[in-house]
């Protein structure tokens, strides 16, 4: 998953009683967000907190997994090309500036984007494509016409990295990924000239470019680092029918193999949902391609609404987002997971209802179950089961009630010992009339 890790609050189809594993790729849906300009980059620190940036200084933010987005105040009206957050508070973004100062404005926030400050990147005539911080002090940028630069003081100063010289050493850098603090990779190049990768095994003190004999003819846009030796890159050439291409190394970047997929278009990014499933957007081709075997075979699907998607991310296996032109944003919907409803259960006898407040919540949430309609004079025993599940269908708490108050049950759910994310509350009632009634509510833990 991208840049150390790169959401979606999803609409899971939740079924109850038999665990099911996801056996196929999921789908995507289009979201409405408060942005009409092109969105260039999206980044999530976890399943709830995310940012997207784009043209004319656009910065939008979600803290509830994409259920709602807010526009953040931006210090620039120039196009913002990339965004990266180290955690929920500390983030950086790059904005290209063509009036007065000719180069990149580096934007920074220490409070989740509530306030952004900007300063000129100290190297002029440099246009930053990508930003990556490994910790609060050590960071990297890649840029055009060429820059592969590092900071070790949180961005106060930057220094160009040492690169072993060959004919491809000093092309534009579009993406940087590190496996750990020693092994890192970068990619880039120029359209119709060469695609380039770089590698380091000593923390970036020295970088080595791809051999010219291994280089494709077009840029390598995205990278996924499996481990210190295995890396997959995405690119391609939409002209002359060459189409989408993937480049791969299994020896730490010493040798690379490039494969054209016989699909028209250009892969502008790549990210993995899990160990095996990868997705790449084809931009104006209005398609996504996916692989279920670590990138060896690929299938194309249309984007929702015919959107042009250029950047995407998966903070975990259940959440994914993509952004693109004209404020386009899509989110990933996993194949159905959870617990399936037992056959023969009848939902028609009671109007069971669950409400949760507050939702989202930080440490506790009041669950109110109503509509089990016991009714005056009822002799039948009533049992209500209240269960809580995480987004993977794993039960985290279960309560069984036999002596119930009339018509309404209140229960306090505590999430202080649970990780932030999506949970599901399931109420199952039986005993008023023949059959079983059930209801489900989605709750969000910050």
Residue extents of the structural domains in the chain: 21-333, 344-445
Predicted local distance difference test score (pLDDT) of residue 65: 87
Cα separation of 373 and 333, whole Å? Answer: 35
pLDDT tens string 190-228: 999 999 999 999 999 999 999 999 999 999 999 999 999
* Residues whose CB is less than 8 angstroms from the CB of residue 132 and which lie 6 or more positions away in sequence, other chains included: 3, 4, 84, 139, 140, 141, 176, 177, 178
443 has which bridge partners? 423
Return the DSSP state at 361: B
The pLDDT of residue 380 is 54
- How confident is the model at residue 34, as a pLDDT? 97
What pLDDT does 425 receive?
92
Q: Look up residue 426 and give its two tokens.
A: 């399931």
> How close are the terminal C-alpha atoms of the chain, in Å?
22
The label of the residue with tokens 């069971």 reads: 352
pLDDT in tens, 37-65: 999 999 999 989 999 999 999 999 999 88
- Output the CATH code of domain 21-333: 2.130.10.10
| Residue pair 47/5 in contact by the 8 Å Cβ criterion | no
The H or E element that residue 410 is part of is: strand 408-414
Neighbour count for residue 38 (Cβ, 10 Å): 18
DSSP 164: -
Give me the residues of the chain with pLDDT under 70, please: 1-25, 240-241, 335-351, 373-381, 392, 406, 431-436
Q: How far is CA 89 from the centre of its chain?
A: 17
**Chosen CATH of 344-445 out of 2.40.30.10, 2.40.160.20, 2.40.50.140, 2.60.40.2550:** 2.60.40.2550
Contact criterion met (CB below 8 Å) for 94 and 131: yes
| Best CA proximity match to 266, nearest among 332, 210, 219, 214 | 219
Q: What is the pLDDT of residue 18?
A: 29
Backbone angles phi, psi at 275, to 5 degrees: -60, -30
Pairing of strands 206-209, 162-163: parallel
d(CA 379, CA 346) in angstroms, rounded, equals 21
Tokens of 20: 């099911």
């Amino acid at each position: 998953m991208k840049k150390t890790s790169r959401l979606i609050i999803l609409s899971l189809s939740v079924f109850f009683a038999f665990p099911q594993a996801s056996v196929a790729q999921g789908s995507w849906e289009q979201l409405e967000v408060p942005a009409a300009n092109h969105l260039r980059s999206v980044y999530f620190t976890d399943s709830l907190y995310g940012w997207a940036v784009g043209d004319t200084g656009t910065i939008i933010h979600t803290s509830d997994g994409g259920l709602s987005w807010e526009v953040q105040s931006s210090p620039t009206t120039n196009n913002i090309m990339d965004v990266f957050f180290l955690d929920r508070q500390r983030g950086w973004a790059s904005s290209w500036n063509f009036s007065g100062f000719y180069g990149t404005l580096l934007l920074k926030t220490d409070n989740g984007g509530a306030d952004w400050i900007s300063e000129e990147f100290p190297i002029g005539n440099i246009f930053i494509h990508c930003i990556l911080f490994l910790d609060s002090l050590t960071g990297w940028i890649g840029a055009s016409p060429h820059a592969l630069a590092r900071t070790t003081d949180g961005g106060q100063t930057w220094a160009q990295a040492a690169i072993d010289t060959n004919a491809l050493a000093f092309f534009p850098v579009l993406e940087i990924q590190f496996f750990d603090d020693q092994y890192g990779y970068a990619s880039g190049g120029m359209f119709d000239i060469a695609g380039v990768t770089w590698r380091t095994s000593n923390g970036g003190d020295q970088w080595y470019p791809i051999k010219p004999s291994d280089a494709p003819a077009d840029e390598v846009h995205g990278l996924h680092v499996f481990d210190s030796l295995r890396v997959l890159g995405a690119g391609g050439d939409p002209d002359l029918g060459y189409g989408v291409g993937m480049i791969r190394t299994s020896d730490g970047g010493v040798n690379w193999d490039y494969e054209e997929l016989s699909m028209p278009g250009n892969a502008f990014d790549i990210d993995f949902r899990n160990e095996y499933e990868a997705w790449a957007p084809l931009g104006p081709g209005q398609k996504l391609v996916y692989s279920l075997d670590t990138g060896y075979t690929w299938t194309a699907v249309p984007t929702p609404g015919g959107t042009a998607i250029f950047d995407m991310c998966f903070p975990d296996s259940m959440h994914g987002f993509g952004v693109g032109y004209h404020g386009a944003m899509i989110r990933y919907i996993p194949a159905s997971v959870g617990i399936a409803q037992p056959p023969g259960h009848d939902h028609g006898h009671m109007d069971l209802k669950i409400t949760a407040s507050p939702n989202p919540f930080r440490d506790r949430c009041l669950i109110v179950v109503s509509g089990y309609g016991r009714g005056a004079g009822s002799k039948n025993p009533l049992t209500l089961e209240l269960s809580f599940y995480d987004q993977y269908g794993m039960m985290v708490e279960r309560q069984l009630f036999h002596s119930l108050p009339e018509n309404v049950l209140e229960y306090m759910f505590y999430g202080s010992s649970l990780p932030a994310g999506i949970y599901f509350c399931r109420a199952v009632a039986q005993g008023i009339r023949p059959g079983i009634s059930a209801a489900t509510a989605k709750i969000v833990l910050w």
